[in-house]
Amino acid sequence: MRTIIAVATKELHQIVRDPRTLAILLLFPAFMLLIYGYALNFDIRDVRLVVQDHDRSTASRELVSAFTNSGYFKLVGYVDADKEIDALVNRNETRAVLVVPARYEQAVRNRRPTTVQVIIDGDNANTASTVMGYAQAIVGEISTAILLEAGRATGARATLTLEPRIWYNPQLRSTLFLVPGLIAFIAMVTAVVSTALSVVREKERGTMEQIRMSPIDPVSFVLGKTLPYLALSFVSALLILFTARILFDLPMRGSWLLLCGSILLFLVGAQAQGLLISSIASSQQVAFQVALLSSFLPTFILSGFIFPISSMPMAVQAVSHVVPARYFLVALRAIVLKGVGLPAFWEQLVYLGVFSTIALGLAALRLKREWA
């Protein structure tokens, strides 16, 4: 018994002497609880809605109010031309478009069958399915109210029906939005972890001092360490994309040049994050834990890969702005699924460039301080 207590006391002292491991052990469970508790939400809220009202009547305004008052939709504006709808959907400024036909009020007053249309961005199949269900429920309630107001039986033929149109993914295949997310997820994790471990490995082996004394400058050392992993991560991302095209019929509607450029910019940011971690960590174990924690969970939960960011609390949404995969996913889905050009997602690439620049700058400062 004394031996057990002695060994346990010694191990406790070692844990206390390592504040980084102690912080991970104590703070990681609380962090997991906060992230999973607030970010994982299968309810879709504040769906950005645009209205194309060809009737412009009291009845059409009541229909729009029914959508916005439901708590699921958030009205962001009105459009007149179809080209405006294309632009808004391609720039991810709206998720759904409600199209009210001409003479809608006249048809409702005369209890004649009429149809309203909802155009839904299908780049995220789960969200599109949920949005379509919300729209059908709202239109169904309005149709029932019209029948009851007319004194007809509840089982009578509905006077108002919904015609949903799913853009970019009419069959609502989950593969078409999961595969781009997997590309971002796998590329982010592998690039961050491999880069972080490659530099820390030199510290553990004791060869960092020899490298410092050699004629190699810090820039050459960092480039020599990271370029192979950049090439491997880029090839890995392309292999996933080609495999998905063969096995899952993933379309490629945009420019291959834009796609490759976006992937490279994203990987540069991921490697910069790995370099920053390597400059802080003192061992491969700590580097691996920090790299996995800072890449795995944020990319999986806070990037819009699985769960829509708009449904998260405002505090969690603010945190998601520092997750590079959030911007990369928008650009990737825009190129692969929508086939749009650079004007539709250039802001996302700017955000990725800013993240890469800041991460590289911080990593350079840390490594320069260690090199001196």
pLDDT tens digits along 305-329: 777 777 777 777 888 888 898 899 8
Q: The domain at 47-167 falls in which architecture?
A: 3-Layer(aba) Sandwich (3.40)
What is the reported pLDDT for 207? Answer: 62
Separation of alpha carbons 349 and 219, rounded Å: 25
Question: What would the pLDDT profile of 6-57 be if each residue is shown by its tens digit?
Answer: 656 655 666 667 666 666 566 655 665 555 555 555 567 788 999 999 988 8
What is the reported pLDDT for 154? Answer: 45
What is the reported pLDDT for 245? Answer: 84
The domain locations on the chain are 47-167, 174-371
What is the reported pLDDT for 14? Answer: 64
What is the reported pLDDT for 49? Answer: 92
What is the reported pLDDT for 282? Answer: 75
Which residues does the chain have with pLDDT short of 70?
1-16, 18-43, 149-158, 202, 204-222, 370-372
- Helices 175-205, 218-248: axis angle to 10 degrees equals 150
